[in-house]
Structure 1
Amino acid sequence: MEAPQCEQRITKVSLAEVLRCFEQPISEEQAWAICFQCCCKMEQLSQGLSPSLHSVFIKGAGSIFLHADGSASFKVYRKSDVGSSIQQSEDKLLEYLGVVIYEALDWGIDDKFERELSDPLEKLLCLMLKLDEKAMKPAVTLQDVIKACEEHLSRPSQASSHYEMTCKHLFAEYMELQNLVTIIQTSRAVHLGSPLTFYSLCLHTLTYCTRNGASIICELQSGVKLRKSTERLQRCMPPKECIRSPYELLLDDIQHKRYTLRKVSD
């Protein structure tokens, strides 16, 4: 009998998959990190590494990948797939990168609402998207964006390690959530004859986790001890009385007619 093949370990995930998994937009710090890591990758490709920068085509969150080591990469097209006319210049790639980051920050938010961004991040996106008239000449460069990301931190010299760790944590959170979903789906398949209320509760918890960050995932991993309902009732203490202001106490006395108010004559 042939031995089952080992499950292939995932080493990268697209930004689009991350957004769909967490069902919420990325944070500003994650936006800074993704922007920095993508620009550093572009800078490496511009130095003649294979594949070249001209083979990169950014279009949507599905064309940007986050790796387990915290680095970033892009969907690459071969010459046989696309013509030379589709090759993009450096400033055009930065413009499309700005579009992807802006959409990731705005992902899932109702069209009636607009997310308020911090001034430095909004200024950077305007620079990349060429929304500022001053940014039209000269054209924005990779070094301009990398420098802006570095100066965003109190210690610019630590930008590389800081942003790498931010992307690494984002990838790890995605993998943790995917593993939990797989475990629950497997458990449901094994326990088909058991009530599904427990698994429905777990799925509801996972949905809550995706909307409230990875801190709850750590709590689930460490374990939660549940008490019996009867034990909880015995341990319940009467709620403490709220501390009220003197004005609220006086109003309560008047409402319960603890005082007799005399009419004041002019």
Structure 2
Amino acid sequence: MESPRCEQRITKVSLAEILRCFEHPISEEQAWAVCFQCCRKMEQLAQGLRPPLHSVFIKGPGSIFIHADGTASFKVYHKSGKSIDVGSIQQSEDKLLEYLGVVIYEALDWGIDSQVERELSDPLEKLLCLMLKLDDEAMKPAVTLQDVIKACEEHLATTSEATSHCEMTCRSLFTEYMELQKLVTIIQTSKEVHLGSPLSCYSPVDLALTGFSEASLWPNVIRELQNGVRLRKATERPQRHAPLKECIHSPYELLLDDIQHKRYTLRKVSD
């Protein structure tokens, strides 16, 4: 029997799930889009849309959700809930933006070796420093939602297209995740059929011997596609001629071959 998650159509996925699925960090363009969509959502909540902004909980990539329509949402604290510490709820706008900045930075740094520092573009690095309060100017006023939204808009050549562009970028991110999950499920199912039992019944060594790996293959494929793949012309491909196998032809095949290669002499027929 399938789980309810499989039966129902998935409409949102956490940023943490996306990162675990792809096993590589998000791109700068995706970071701008996620940041913009999150700030727009905060802006809507601040204007009275439920749930109220003070109930929003941002702590790690698992607390931000990307929806199928390209919008974003957050994990929400409920008074009846016991899973979230009340003292950890961020109620101020600048605190929410600070924690959002931490999540964006984590997503940009996901899976990168601790000894390697990712180089970011100046505008994005400046925005993150502003959100994380890393600016040296102590007397500088706290960053606001409008400051971050404006920075995200000015990142684009046409500021008026920010909403549609960021929505499309987040929608593509969700779609890529769903397609990859579907592909992995198909391969996993086919392997289970081949092995005769669910994959959970086998040890990692057994799965390795059968050539199955849940995660190692797809990030490499995606990384190569993102970096660009050069297609060779057919003439550049190495020609591998298989040795011809001797076979016995029927009289009809021999006759047909003679006709095709014009191995015959026609005699003139008189009227």
Cα deviation, 1:42-86, whole Å, max 9, x if unaligned, reads 000000111000000100010000000000000001123354773
| Residue number in structure 1 paired with 2:7 | 7
Tell me the distance in 2 between the aligned counterparts of 1:95 and 1:44. 18
Tell me the distance in 1 between the aligned counterparts of 2:79 and 2:208.
53
Q: Which has the larger Rg?
A: 2
Quote the Cα distance in structure 2 between the aligned partners of 1:32 and 1:136.
27
Structure 1: which 4+ aligned runs deviate by more than 6 Å? 196-199
Following superposition, the deviation at residue 208 of structure 1 comes to 2.2
- Consecutive unaligned residues in structure 2, runs of 5 or more: 197-206, 229-237, 243-271
Does the CA contact (< 8 Å) of 1:57 and 1:76 recur in 2? yes
Name the residue aligned to 1:53: 53
Query: How big is the shift at 1:7?
Result: 1.9
Match in the other structure for 1:73: 73
Farther off after superposition, 176-185 or 201-210: 201-210
* Cα distance in 1, alignment partners of residues 69 and 97 from structure 2: 23
Matched AA of 1:163: C
Q: Tell me the TM-score normalized by structure 1.
A: 0.74
- Displacement of 1:134 after TM fit? 3.5
Encode CA deviations 1:132-187: one digit per residue, 9 max, x unaligned: 13375211100000000000000000000000000000000000100001001111
| Letter paired with 1:156 | T
- 1:187-210 deviations in Å (ceiling 9; x for gaps): 1122236xx999737866434224
1:20 — aligned with what? 20
- Identify unmatched segments of 5+ residues in structure 1: 217-230, 236-266
Q: What do the CA deviations read for 1:2-32 (whole angstroms, capped 9, x no partner)? A: 9x98721111110011111100011000000
**1:164 pairs with 147, 163, 167, which one?**
167
Q: CA RMSD in A?
A: 3.1
Is the aligned partner of 1:185 residue 2:192?
A: no
Quickly say closer, same or farther: Cα 1:71–1:198, change in 2 above 3 A: farther
Residue 208 (structure 1) aligned with residue 208 (structure 2): no
Q: CA offset at residue 36 of structure 1?
A: 0.1
1:36 aligns with 2:36: yes
